[in-house]
Amino acid sequence: MASHRRPKQPSRARVTFFGAAATAAATVGITATSAQAAPQPTIDEVQAEVDSLYEEAEAVTEEYNGAKEREEELEAAVEDLQDSAARGQDELNELRGSLGSIAAAQYRNGGLDPSVQLFLSSDPDAYLSRASTLDQVSGRQAETLQLIEGKQRILDQQRAEAADALAELESLRSDLGDQKETIQGKLSEAQALLNQLSEEQRAQIAAQEAADREAAERASRAEPRGDITPVEGSGYAVAALNYAIGKLGSPYVFGASGPGSFDCSGLTSWAYAQAGVALPRTSQSQAGVGTRLGASELAPGDLVFFYGDLHHVGLYAGNGQVVHAPRPGQSVEYIGLNVMPFQFGVRVA
Q: What is the CATH number of the domain that holds 125?
A: 1.20.1260
Residue 260 has pLDDT above 70, yes or no: yes
In terms of domains, do 162 and 283 share one? no
**pLDDT of res. 35:** 42
In terms of domains, do 161 and 177 share one? yes
Taking a C-beta distance cutoff of 8 angstroms, is the pair 320, 338 a contact?
Answer: yes
Q: Which of 219, 235, 267 is the last residue of a domain?
A: 219
**pLDDT of res. 103:** 52
**pLDDT of res. 226:** 59
Instruction: Tell me the residue range of the domain where 26 lies.
Output: 1-219
**pLDDT of res. 123:** 59
pLDDT tens-digit readout, 24-37: 334 334 344 444 55
Its pTM stands at 0.59
In terms of domains, do 208 and 229 share one? no
**pLDDT of res. 284:** 94
Q: Which of 187, 219, 251 is the last residue of a domain?
A: 219
In terms of domains, do 180 and 88 share one? yes
Burial readout 266-285 (b: 16 or more C-beta within 10 A, e: otherwise): bbbbbbbebbebebbbbbbb
In terms of domains, do 54 and 165 share one? yes
Residue scoring higher pLDDT (43 or 39): 43
Taking a C-beta distance cutoff of 8 angstroms, is the pair 176, 71 a contact?
Answer: yes
How is 105-172 classified by DSSP, letter by letter? HHHHTTS--HHHHHHHTS-HHHHHHHHHHHT---HHHHHHHHHHHHHHHHHHHHHHHHHHHHHHHHHH
If one counts the domains in the chain, the total is 2
Q: Which of 198, 219, 240 is the last residue of a domain?
A: 219
**pLDDT of res. 266:** 96
In terms of domains, do 156 and 176 share one? yes
In terms of domains, do 227 and 200 share one? no
Residue scoring higher pLDDT (299 or 76): 299
In terms of domains, do 206 and 286 share one? no
In terms of domains, do 285 and 142 share one? no
Maximum separation of any 2 CA atoms in the chain, in Å: 108
* Positions marked active-site: 264, 312, 324
In terms of domains, do 215 and 238 share one? no
In terms of domains, do 263 and 179 share one? no
Which of 47-51, 201-205, 222-226 is the least confident region? 222-226
- In sequence order, what are the residues at sequence separation of 6 or more whose Cβ sits closer than 8 angstroms to the Cβ of residue 225? 317, 319, 321, 334
**pLDDT of res. 216:** 56
In terms of domains, do 61 and 171 share one? yes
